[in-house]
Structure 1
Amino acid sequence: MTLGKFHAALTAGVFLAVSATAQDAGDTTAPETGAEAASAEGAAAPTISAFSITPAPDPLSSAAAVYATYQSDVSDIEQHKFENVEGIQEALTDLGSQNAEQLSRGWIAYSALVASQSPEFRAAVRDVEGYYGRDFLVRGLQTDSRYARKINGGTTAVGAALNAGAADAQRLQSTAEYVKEQAYSLQAFGWAKGKLGDSGALATRLRADSMIGRTARPNMTTALDAPDIGSVLSTAGRSGAPSVWNSVSGSADRLQVVNVSNITSSNSPLSVSVGSEQVADKIATLAVYRVLGSEDATGVAPVQSAMTEGQTSGCMNMAQLNLQQCIAATHQHFEVPFCLGEHALAEIGSCIAKVSN
């Protein structure tokens, strides 16, 4: 036998031996009974459990909650003096981590919520929908940016939203003055004159945080989804009405509904300033979507698109950059409130105020 044939025979013998051993080992396993097979089959079957579908949050309310969170942070600063370094740093983190695009979208969404409370405008939107159909109305919104403002009551509705914005801008200016005053009074305290540390690194952190943005407070989201939020929004910016942000306490069952009898309606709606027409158009468009049922009427994409606007977001982005540069140039703790008042409050307020006159 040649070496090649011997090697082939040896290999075949080993293969047969291994196969026989494996077969013998397999034979030691008892065959499954019918019951065992059924049990194994049942164990392999997937378990199907009941589930519920949570409805998607309203995009307008969700966006507005970011702006409401900013205003809630302003309320915290407005109601409490700085008493230590931690308080100053907390305020800086809250206001300095706002994302300009998200804050701008939040303000426009909030303005649309206010505009959608106009009875005349709501009735006109429903009339157009009833006569021409919802598809016709939505198509008009998507093909003509000024379509919503042409609907009866559109100018008045937008004017009410601008009044609310002007009231917010005034509130921010007043709070800014209060905060900047503390930059002077705090110099009497030793802790406030302490070294800030690496201000450049602090400014860099603020920049990084602002790229992500500040998450909306859950209580603000809850408040804006409350069934009776409309009664609060309908008084925004009106003479004799308290600030909306004093009325929104943060939970659906604790909204402070305003006594309408104490409010005068003598203040006429503000007009849109030159160059800000596109902002007013978007507010009106979003208000129509709100009346129709927001995303239920058109899908989320058109609503999200209408909230995107360059003028206000660009202005707020510049305010954030100025805040970061101001912080980078500070050396002592008492200087931080000045940066907050000047850029995180007053400058943001001016971005809102310039839309109307």
Structure 2
Amino acid sequence: MLSTTRTRAALTAIAVVAATLLASCETPPPPPPVVAAPAAPPPITLSSSIVEKASAFRGYMQRAEAISPTFENGDQIQSSLKVAVAYEPKQFLAGATAYAAVLALQDPTFVASVRAFAADPAQRQQVVNQLIADPAYAVGFKGSDTAAGLIIDTLGADGLKLYTAGKAVKQSAYDIQRSKWSTQSVLDRDGRLAYAKTMSATPGLADSVDMAALQQASIGAVPPTITVRSAPPPYKPLVIRGMAVAALAALGYAGDDKLTLIDAVMAEPASAMCLNMGKLNLYQCLAVAKPHYEDVFCLGQHIMMDTGMCVMKASGAELPYEAPRLLPVKESISVKGAGSNSKKAKAAAAKPAAKKKS
């Protein structure tokens, strides 16, 4: 009995040793698979040059709409003219489009919809290529309707403010005729026309503080200041291209290194026609205006009102019911109705600004 027990114990020990040796010869199990963390999408990036253009546009609008309709002498009129003429149409429109991009980047739904394609490099590049080939591709993203509404309402309100301020200035052209000084002739009429042409070919300047605010707004750090609404398509080219630039920025593809490409996306052939016509009407108006009150008319109608209307039209906002068409017509040139199609007015308006002698 004792012998049998010892034998079993010995056999058990041998079995345990054998199992241990066998186990040590087996291939160890593979380690658990390493799950790679999802790729982080690139940050929202908008070129500082684009922000600068947006700031230059916004700065001009704020300065021009602040022009007071109360004039007491010719110097005040000339100072206001210098403020109001200081924009170059193509850069001005590019600034409006850049500002539209900043506004679209403040729409969280639109930005989130675009950034859903940012993490995967292949998807991101595919969307980028589509936006470059056809900026209207941006309309397909969720939230594009509210982003468009934000652009239309903001630019439309800015344009209306300038237009309304221009109406008040235009009215003052009639009101100040009661003052003798307003009927006196403007000094250096040729010089002020040349200045208008020079400043109309000079890019506007941005404000550094405003640029910083717009840069923060472009990354969603500043919420919209107006109630966002849905605006159904179709949209104006400015709105579409602004959203396309915003979409590229949301994909991290609108930095300073992509500036040439972004400028091409923003450009719209012949889109500055309205602003160019306003400038032409202004030159013709200044060419025939003689007394101070006629300069006030040129300022109110052909700078402030015309420019404000062009901004509203470019955004797709509703125009005031009385808004005139931008055509060079006789009665639109001066308070007295001097003919804009006169040989003298056309010749003076078409003459380029004299170059300063070095």
Q: Which band: TM-score by shorter chain?
A: 0.5 to 0.7
Letter in 1 for 2:231: P
- Count residues in correspondence: 271
Cα distance 1:335–1:221, how it changes in 2: closer, same or farther (>3 A)?
farther
Question: Counterparts of 1:189-228 in structure 2 under 5 Å?
Answer: 189-226=179-216
Cα drift, residue 229 of structure 1: 9.2
Residue 163 (structure 1) aligns with: 153
Letter in 2 for 1:168: D
* TM-score computed with the length of structure 2 as normaliser: 0.68
1:211-237 CA distance string (max 9 Å, x none) = 12332344443443356995766124x
Contact kept? 2:135, 2:241, Cα under 8 Å? yes
Residue 269 (structure 1) aligns with: 231
Letter in 1 for 2:146: T
Aligned-residue sequence identity (percent) comes to 27
Partners in 1 of 2:187 and 2:232 — Cα distance?
46
Greater fraction of residues in helix: 1
CA RMSD, Structure 1 to Structure 2 (Å): 2.8
Residue 109 (structure 2) aligns with: 120
Residue 9 (structure 2) aligns with: none
Cα drift, residue 185 of structure 1: 2.0
Residue 99 (structure 2) aligns with: 110
Cα drift, residue 101 of structure 1: 0.6
Cα distance 1:168–1:227, how it changes in 2: closer, same or farther (>3 A)?
closer
Cα drift, residue 72 of structure 1: 2.0
1:139-166 CA distance string (max 9 Å, x none) = 2211223211112222331222112122
Question: Counterparts of 1:161-310 in structure 2 under 5 Å?
Answer: 161-226=151-216, 234-236=224-226, 238=227, 268-269=230-231, 271-272=233-234, 276=236, 278-293=237-252, 295-296=254-255, 299-310=258-269
Contact kept? 1:124, 1:151, Cα under 8 Å? yes
Cα drift, residue 117 of structure 1: 1.1
1:89 to 60, 67, 78: 78
Partners in 2 of 1:349 and 1:88 — Cα distance?
19
Alignment pair present for 1:349 and 2:339: no
Contact kept? 1:272, 1:280, Cα under 8 Å? no
* TM-score computed with the length of structure 1 as normaliser: 0.68
Cα drift, residue 81 of structure 1: 2.8
Alignment pair present for 1:330 and 2:320: no
Letter in 2 for 1:316: L
SS in 1 for 2:272: helix
Contact kept? 1:141, 1:147, Cα under 8 Å? yes
Cα drift, residue 294 of structure 1: 5.7
Cα distance 1:190–1:322, how it changes in 2: closer, same or farther (>3 A)?
same
Residue 71 (structure 1) aligns with: 61
For structure 1, which runs of at least 5 residues remain unmatched after alignment?
1-55, 239-264
Letter in 1 for 2:133: T
Contact kept? 1:94, 1:214, Cα under 8 Å? no
1:91-128 CA distance string (max 9 Å, x none) = 11121121001111111111121122111101101112
Cα drift, residue 189 of structure 1: 2.6
Partners in 1 of 2:232 and 2:288 — Cα distance?
38
